[in-house]
């Protein structure tokens, strides 16, 4: 049975609808105004809202618009009115209302509408996290524009970026509305023809090329050769350098060339760090909407703590942190201590400043090793024993490495 929110300023109608729907086994919440409806929606997402149009504080159409613009219209809403015009009903439908009931509401009409709408809701896919509207950072705005520009281009698209990028979020920005999206890595080896049929007219997405087996690569090659006739666009991703993907991972060079019709680099999370609070809040809303966790909110201090973290695994690690904090917080408001607890005192430090990624690998490695060992020597107050334990190096090797890098010791080890 469902949770239904009845919003009407007339107490008689609220009581009548509540009694009828409760007798059908539903859990009914009621609100006498738009203000009360906002509060009820903030506490939980109902499975269905019956919303009156004419109310004293804010009319139902305005409340519907408000929910739609703020991303809260994630449940079906059936409008109710005894004085609405056809134009009003059309406007409500355009904004996102699922149906319209005219007062006085006949019992059979009410029950049939509720049953049909709830059945439709059961077949709807779960609401997904989307980057379509979130984000103001130049890096994120730019990549969104470029991907939108590529939406009508049929060439295969290869996305590149760091580990943990959650590349599907970016790939979805290219997908045409109401078309299939098939993640095919798991079945490409056994049934590439079936994967093509499922993706016909839409997108076949492969999340990480480096993880594909030889059989899956052969299946993907089969799909790539026939994608055009099925009107399938292949979007793939890799965090590996293309040359290393071929030379060290053994990926088929011809297949990689075929998948690289258009290559797009995705920005790392730190490149749009100013959007982390908005993205984290959206991730939390998704968890609450899916009823994975109780209603939660992130405090300003918690959002700032999330923003300051380096997030070496990008969006994936941010999502994990938000989920862990939401499930383990003892309060409705997630605070900075919750974030610190989830990230741990040994959370990865930020990328070492001053190390140029343009220098030869050997020089960059030596610069990192020097910064790494100096950091741990300072933290452990010069104790070679503790630094050796922390770094996993044998003491003799550690002494040799320190001498090689020109790192002097402030005092002898105890």
Coil, strand or helix at 349? coil
Q: Please tell me the pTM assigned to this model.
A: 0.62
Phi, psi of 130 (to 5 degrees): -140, 145
Q: Distance from CA of residue 168 to its chain's centroid? A: 9
Bond into 36 cis (ω within 30): no
Average pLDDT, the chain: 87
Could you report the per-residue pLDDT of 354-378, keeping only the tens digit for each? 566 667 887 788 888 888 888 788 7
Assess whether pLDDT exceeds 70 at residue 182. Answer: yes
Assess whether pLDDT exceeds 70 at residue 398. Answer: yes
d(CA 160, CA 242): 9
β-pair partners for 265: 160
Could you report the per-residue pLDDT of 233-263, keeping only the tens digit for each? 999 999 999 998 999 889 999 999 999 999 9
Joined together, the tokens standing for residue 221 give 């090659």
pLDDT of residue 224: 96
Joined together, the tokens standing for residue 172 give 């979805």
d(CA 344, CA 317): 13
d(CA 247, CA 319): 32
Fold of 3-123: Rossmann fold (3.40.50)
Assess whether pLDDT exceeds 70 at residue 11. Answer: yes
Q: Report angle CA 394, 397, 399 to the nearest 5 degrees.
A: 110
pLDDT of residue 347: 46
Assess whether pLDDT exceeds 80 at residue 345. Answer: no
Joined together, the tokens standing for residue 262 give 């258009």
CATH class of 269-343: mainly alpha
pLDDT of residue 346: 40
Could you report the per-residue pLDDT of 290-337, keeping only the tens digit for each? 778 888 899 999 999 999 888 878 999 999 999 999 999 999 999 999
Give whichever of 54-58, 128-132, 206-210, 284-288 has the largest mean pLDDT.
206-210
Q: Report angle CA 94, 95, 100 to the nearest 5 degrees.
A: 70
Cα torsion angle, 262, 267, 269, 273, sign: negative
Ranking 20-29, 166-175, 355-364 by mean pLDDT, the lowest is 355-364
Determine what percent of the chain is predicted with pLDDT higher than 70.
93
Assess whether pLDDT exceeds 80 at residue 52. Answer: yes
Cα separation values, 302 from 23, 70, 325, 341, 414, Å: 43, 21, 10, 11, 40
- Indicate left, alpha or beta for 251 from its phi (over 0: left) and psi (-120 to 50: alpha): beta
Phi, psi of 65 (to 5 degrees): -60, -40
Sole residue written with tokens 């070492």: 352
Fold of 145-265: Rossmann fold (3.40.50)
Q: What is the mean pLDDT of residues 334-359?
A: 70
Assess whether pLDDT exceeds 80 at residue 268. Answer: yes
More confident residue, 352 or 24: 24
Sorting pLDDT into bands at 50, 70 and 90, what band is 125? low
pLDDT of residue 167: 96
- Our CA dihedral for 49, 54, 57, 58, rounded to 10 degrees, sits at 60
Q: What is the mean pLDDT of residues 70-90?
A: 83
């Amino acid at each position: 049975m469902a949770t239904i929110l009845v919003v009407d300023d007339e107490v008689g109608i609220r009581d009548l609808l509540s009694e009828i729907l409760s007798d059908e086994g539903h859990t009914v919440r009621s609100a006498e105004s738009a203000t009360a409806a906002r509060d009820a929606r903030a506490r939980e997402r109902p499975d269905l809202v019956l919303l009156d149009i004419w109310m004293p504080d804010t009319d139902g159409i305005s409340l519907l618009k408000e929910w739609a613009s703020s991303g809260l219209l994630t449940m079906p809403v059936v409008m109710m009115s005894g004085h609405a015009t056809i134009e009003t009903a059309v406007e409500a439908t355009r904004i996102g209302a699922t149906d319209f009931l005219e007062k006085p509401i006949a019992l059979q009409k009410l029950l049939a509408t509720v049953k049909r709408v709830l059945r439709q809701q059961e077949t709807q896919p779960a609401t997904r996290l989307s980057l379509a509207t979130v984000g103001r950072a130049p890096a994120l705005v730019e990549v969104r524009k470029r991907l939108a520009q590529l939406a009508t281009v049929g060439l295969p698209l290869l996305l590149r970026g760091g580990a943990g990028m959650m590349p599907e979020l970016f790939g979805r920005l290219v997908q045409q509305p109401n078309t299939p999206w098939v993640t095919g890595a798991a079945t490409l080896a056994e049934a590439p023809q079936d994967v093509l049929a499922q993706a016909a007219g839409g997108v076949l997405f492969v999340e990480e090329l480096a993880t594909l087996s030889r059989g899956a690569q052969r299946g993907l090659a089969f799909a790539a050769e026939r994608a055009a006739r099925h009107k399938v666009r292949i979007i793939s991703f890799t965090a590996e350098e293309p040359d290393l993907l071929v030379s060290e991972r053994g990926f088929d060079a011809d297949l990689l060339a075929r998948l690289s019709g258009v290559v797009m680099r995705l920005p790392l999370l730190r490149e749009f760090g100013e959007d982390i609070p908005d993205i984290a809040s959206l991730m939390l809303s998704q968890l609450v909407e899916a009823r994975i966790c109780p209603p939660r909110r992130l405090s300003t201090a918690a959002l700032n703590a999330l923003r300051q973290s380096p997030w070496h695994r990008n969006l994936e690690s941010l999502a994990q942190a938000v989920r862990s904090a939401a499930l383990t917080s003892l309060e409705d408001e997630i605070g900075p201590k919750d974030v610190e607890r989830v990230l741990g005192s040994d959370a990865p430090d930020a990328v070492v400043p001053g190390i140029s990624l343009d220098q030869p690998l050997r020089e960059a490695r030596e610069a990192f090793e020097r910064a790494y060992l100096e950091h741990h020597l300072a933290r452990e107050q010069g104790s070679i024993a503790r630094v050796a334990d922390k770094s996993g190096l044998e003491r003799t090797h550690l002494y040799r490495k320190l001498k090689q890098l020109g790192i002097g010791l402030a005092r002898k080890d105890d």
